[in-house]
Structures are given as C-alpha cells and as structure tokens.
Copies of this chain bind each other. A is one copy, B any other.
Amino acid sequence: MKVVCLSGGVGGAKLARGLYDLLGADLTVVGNVGDDLEVFGLYVSPDLDSILYALAGLNDEERGWGRAGETWRALESAKALGADAWFQLGDLDLGLHLTRTDALRRGEPLSAVTRALADAAGLTATLLPATDDRLRTHVVTRAGTLAFQDWFVARQHRDEVDELRYEGAGDATAAPGVLEAIEAADALVFAPSNPFVSLLPILAVPAIRDAIAAREVRCVAVSPLIGGRSVKGPLDRMLTRMAGGTTPAHVAECYEGLLDALVVDHADAPADAAVQLVVTATLMEDRKGSRRLAETVLEVAA
C-alpha cells in the first residue's frame, strides 16, 4: 500500500514514524517548508528535520523535539560571544544545518539535499519538501505581520492570529516527486499537525492541492486536537479565533473538499462533520502509540 503523508513537525512526525514502521519504502512524506528560516546564516527546515529525525530514530522522545543525546556547546559559545541565540540549535542538529546549507549554496535544490540527507540517515521511505521554491508562512496579528518563527519562537506565539499568509505559495511548483507520489498513492494521509501553519502551507501550492483534489483514492486526516485542545502549541486558540470553534467539524473544514475521513480522539466524540469521523485514541505517547494510530489510519484509508 503506497501512502503519501503530508506532515508538519513534531506531532505529524510521530504519525509518520508509525506509518514508516508499517510501510517502509512504500511511504512518502511531504513536509512543510513554510516554517523554514535562516539562523546564523544557516538554512533550517524545522519540519523536514523533525520528520527526518523521527523516521531515522534520531529524535529525542523525552524532550519531544530535536536530537537524542543533543548537546549545546556551539550555542553556549555563541551566547558567551554576544550572540542573540533566540533559536535553539544543538550541536548534532547544527551538523545537519551545516550540511544542508553547504549543499544549497552549491546550488542543489532543497529536494535533492533532503534526499541525500535521508539516504545518509539510512531511510528507505521518501522524504520530500512540498516545494523547492521559497514559500514562507507569515502570521497576521495586531502586532503586525510576522514571519512564522518570529511569532512562534521569538514571541512564543502570544499574539492572536487573524490570518495566515503563505508567501510565495501561489507561484510555487511542487518539488520533483511530490505530484508523482500523490498520483501513484493508494491513500493520502494528513498527519495531526496544525492545519494553519503546517499542512495548509503545503496545500497552498496550487499543483499539490489540485493533485490531491483530483485523486481517486481515500484521503484521511488525523485531528491534532484532543478534547478540543491542542496537545501542544496554539492551534486551539487559532481555530477558535479564525474558524469559530475547535470541534471535529472545524478541523475538517480546514481541509474542505479534500478529505474522506477524519480520525478524532474519544474526547472529541460524538460529533458531526461533513466527512466520515473515526474515533480512536489519538495521543501518541511512544513509538508503539504511533504505530497503533498509524494502523487505524491505514484501515480507514483502505
């Protein structure tokens, strides 16, 4: 069963890990690049990195993000020399950013660099950025329009969000392999990521949205909410403000016209939505939990 999973960072990566355990080389993960940024001159792609680390088993399960066994010596050194170290970069994580930045500067597209990193990490699944073009999520708030990471990390997402803008998305083309994978897929999965800042930036690439809308296979999303609350992050506040609520129907509406089914937690049932709702335990506390949820998702998608 060939599956394409659209994913943002940490939460989505957990489901991707479960799918990888079940599907191996039949899995293609398309990662969000709307959060990408330059830190200290290095190109950082937080969502692609979280997915790569999770699939390769390099992620820190306890901390919930970044690399296992991480150290922070370079950043501590930078701070001691006066740097504004607003973005966390561990030493091992830096190794990836250095490698990617070097390859990008040699003119390689992000998709080729991502493939090389995934190969080096020993992945058999395919990891693709949504696009090789520049696509950046901006957040419209009363404090102004902010680059995603400025809002999310530097301002700790304290500003209420009125609108999202996916700069560059309208002119972006899908990265090589993305449309082919969608067309060849037996099912599509939307990981339990924040729709606004993780999956809608991917779907803002016209060719990707069109390919998904034109598919003949099932498309299943997993809700990132449990009991109407975000497991982590500002999604519940964003949904309430921009969509009017945090029920499964509100989540499903984010992907209007694209979904066949939405997997929700027991805490969100019973509920009504314009798509089939499937109720299960959606919290992934460990790798076993990821695999169990992935099994349910594949059953629904079949």
Which A residues fall within an 8 A CB radius of B? 38-43, 67, 71, 73-84, 89, 91-96, 98-99, 101-102, 104-105, 116-117, 119-121
Contact = CB atoms under 8 A, between A and B. Distances in A.
B98 A41 contact: yes
Contacts of A80: 95, 120
Contacts of A98: 40-42, 74-75, 78, 83, 89
B81 A95 contact: yes
A92 B117 contact: no
A100 to B, nearest CB: 8
Contacts of A83: 95, 98-99, 102
A43, A79, A81 pick with most chain B CB within 10 angstroms? A81
B40 A102 contact: yes
Contacts of A84: 102
Copies in the complex: 2
A94 B77 contact: yes
A15 to B, nearest CB: 24
B78 A96 contact: yes
Given A41-B43, A81-B117, A74 B95 contact: yes
A73 B99 contact: no
Nearest to A96: B81
Contact of A99 (B81, B102, B117): B81
B81 A120 contact: yes
A38 B120 CA distance: 24
Contacts of A96: 77-78, 81
> What 6 pairs across the A-B complex have the smallest Cβ distances?
A77-B95, A78-B95, A40-B98, A41-B101, A82-B120, A73-B91
A220 to B, nearest CB: 32
Contacts of A41: 41-43, 98, 101-102, 104-105
Contact of A117 (B75, B82, B104, B121): B82
Contacts of A119: 82
Nearest to A40: B98
A20 to B, nearest CB: 18
Contacts of A82: 99, 116-117, 119-120
Contacts of A43: 41
Given A41-B41, A42-B42, A77-B95, 12 more contacts: A41-B43, A67-B77, A71-B71, A73-B95, A74-B92, A74-B94, A77-B94, A78-B95, A82-B99, A82-B119, A91-B91, A91-B94
29 contacts: A40-B42, A40-B98, A40-B101, A40-B102, A41-B41, A41-B101, A41-B102, A41-B104, A41-B105, A67-B77, A73-B73, A73-B91, A73-B92, A74-B91, A74-B92, A74-B98, A75-B95, A76-B95, A77-B96, A78-B94, A78-B96, A78-B99, A79-B95, A80-B120, A81-B95, A81-B117, A81-B120, A82-B119, A83-B98
